[in-house]
Structure 1
């Protein structure tokens, strides 16, 4: 089987190296790039990211990648902050306009007794609807999260997690997917999600 060509968008996040290593272990031909030509020619595109929405969008604007990502027609996966940047807006940093590829706004996780923010560590995924990206991530599957802002449940939600509320853990609209958890830190669950993205979702 031909290895899928993956454009790993150089968004400046500190998790890029570990995401690339995870893709390499799965046999993907992953190229870290900020080239519009590389991104638009790839079989799959992954937008990683950690940190704050304002800084993440600033990096994408400075690299000239905002309009490029809006042009992507092949399967696109946002990871962690990358997922949040797919939405229209984030409440972080006083309000940040994002890519607008999915409808909705990212909001702050509210404090709650006995629960700390950021939401950090392993948590359980609950399936809302089936999708090729989440095939094999059955009831009780656990994944690793690190985030202070989150996406409320919308019509695009595939899986949720609970932490001072119910939040989107995996989303999809058309050829655009997002995972709030870190697949590169989520052991077998993360490997399965990345494998599904590489091999099971339709281009």
Structure 2
């Protein structure tokens, strides 16, 4: 059973449909027992760090999520809250992965938000999340904040600066892009995740 944490982000419907396209069903829930016993847990995106953390605290889920042992996937802002702090509202986040989420640089050529298709590259070799995903594949982004490349980075992207496109720490995966909006490549990544 795949559990999508209900109030963490707003891309829930498109995520449910993307999972259905690969033959998987998910439960959208804030129920701690369901989340703890799920085979896989997804923290959806399209939110702010402040709102996502407020909702997790309101539903008494912060410690539950931090202690999960099954594969967990954070998408976009769902990835960002895995870190220690976000500059977005100077919010203390889950602190599962050491590091800070910072606002991307903005230039004449690279305005914020970073929105649209961009390459994911420098994919870590033999990483199960990216099985059968070629380096330099295009995925879909919508964000203004990101994490620099860290030891936990398993793929990167560039938009005015290089940032982590995907991270892995123990059983916690994060992708800054939206696999549910990234066509066949995104479906492949979601399928790889639910088969972990």
Superposition TM-score tier, normalisation by shorter sequence:
over 0.9
SS at match of 1:92: coil
TM-score normalised by the chain length of structure 1: 0.93
2:94 matches 1:107: no
2:35 matches 1:72: no
Match of 1:40 in 2: 36
2:119 matches 1:124: yes
1:49/1:79 contact within 8 Å kept: yes
Distance in 1 of aligned mates of 2:8 and 2:157: 27
Which residue of 141, 148, 151 maps to 2:147?
Answer: 151
Distance in 2 of aligned mates of 1:108 and 1:16: 24
TM-score normalised by the chain length of structure 2: 0.96
Report the CA distance between 1:47 and its aligned residue.
0.6
Give the total of aligned pairs. 195
Distance in 1 of aligned mates of 2:86 and 2:185: 27
Deviations 1:110-138 (A, max 9, x none): 11231111100000011241210011221
Distance in 1 of aligned mates of 2:46 and 2:123: 25
Distance in 1 of aligned mates of 2:153 and 2:17: 27
Distance in 1 of aligned mates of 2:193 and 2:91: 28
2:131 matches 1:135: yes
**Shift >4 Å, 4+ stretches:** none
Distance in 2 of aligned mates of 1:7 and 1:21: 14
2:175 matches 1:179: yes
Which residue of 7, 10, 14 maps to 1:11?
Answer: 7
Gapped runs of 5+ residues in structure 2?
none
Gapped runs of 5+ residues in structure 1?
none
2:16/2:25 contact within 8 Å kept: no
Deviations 1:99-156 (A, max 9, x none): 1111110000011231111100000011241210011221220000000000110000
2:9/2:78 contact within 8 Å kept: no
Match of 1:54 in 2: 50
Cα RMSD for the two superposed structures: 1.0
